[in-house]
Amino acid sequence: MTLKTVPVVEKIMDANDQVAAENRKLLDEAGVFGLNIMASPGSGKTSVILQTIQRLAPKLQIGVIEGDTAPVTIDADKVMAAGMPAVQINTGGSCHLDAPMLSRGLGALDLKDLDLLIVENVGNLICPAGFALGTHANVVIASIPEGDDKPYKYPNIYRGLDVIIINKIDLMPYIDFNMDYFRKGIEILNPGLTTFALSCKTGEGIEEWANWLLEKVEDHKK
């Protein structure tokens, strides 16, 4: 008798990628640029999103999909208070969003009314890196308090990125963070990666990030 094995993980990933392709098609047909934001808890994902909305709201209609492991709507409520539509996805404890989850979130938004979709993935530096969602760009937010060794400890999350945001740079004088060491780790994994250093508290660097994103949205509509 021959033992038969079933490549379960491979099948799961193939199925996820198929749905991701469908998500991308939906976004493209609606003329919406999709952004997947990944980071560890406390890095400032929501703060960056709110600052982005503040800078771009006069020019763009922005929708936000919030991924959380618990049925809380704190972040989604903040987005809606800022005047933009938001959808909450409860992953049921899962440490990441996947393409089928995002598909359900897309179905709850009027994509035809949007220019930009921001997906706030679950706070985690491991799991989100493995699941394509169908968005057009992947962004990781790293914050100064997390330390300068994260690219060396969690390399997979920094591969295949389009942008790295270094947040909370206003804390540089108070925390032992070697920016050159951090950037070297990023460069090894993702040479030439677009980088923005900013502070949601002081506003430094926010305008440059918002302008880059606005350009990407406008190019996507051409």
Beta bridge partners of 167: 143
From first to last of its 222 residues, the chain has per-residue pLDDT tens of 555 444 545 666 789 999 999 999 999 999 999 999 999 999 999 999 999 999 999 899 999 999 988 777 788 899 999 999 999 998 877 888 999 999 999 999 999 999 999 999 998 898 898 899 999 999 999 999 999 999 999 999 999 899 999 999 999 999 999 999 999 999 999 999 999 999 999 999 999 999 999 999 999 988
Residue 153 to residue 13: CA distance in whole angstroms: 24
Contact 79, 86 (CB under 8 A): yes
Q: Which domains does the chain have, with CATH numbers?
A: 8-221 (3.40.50.300)
**Angle, CA of 152, 133 and 77, to the nearest 5°:** 95
Write the DSSP symbol of residue 205. Answer: T
Beta bridge partners of 89: 67
- Residue whose C-alpha is closest to residue 27's, from 162, 135, 138: 135
What pLDDT score was predicted for residue 180? 97
Residue 41 burial by CB count (10 A; 0-12/13-18/19+): exposed, middle or buried? exposed
Q: Regarding beta strands 163-167 and 137-143, do their DSSP bridges make them parallel or antiparallel, or are they unpaired?
A: parallel
Contact 221, 59 (CB under 8 A): no
**Angle, CA of 85, 201 and 77, to the nearest 5°:** 25
Residue 160 to residue 67: CA distance in whole angstroms: 21
- Identify residue 63 by its one-letter amino acid code: G
Contact 20, 132 (CB under 8 A): yes
What pLDDT score was predicted for residue 10? 61
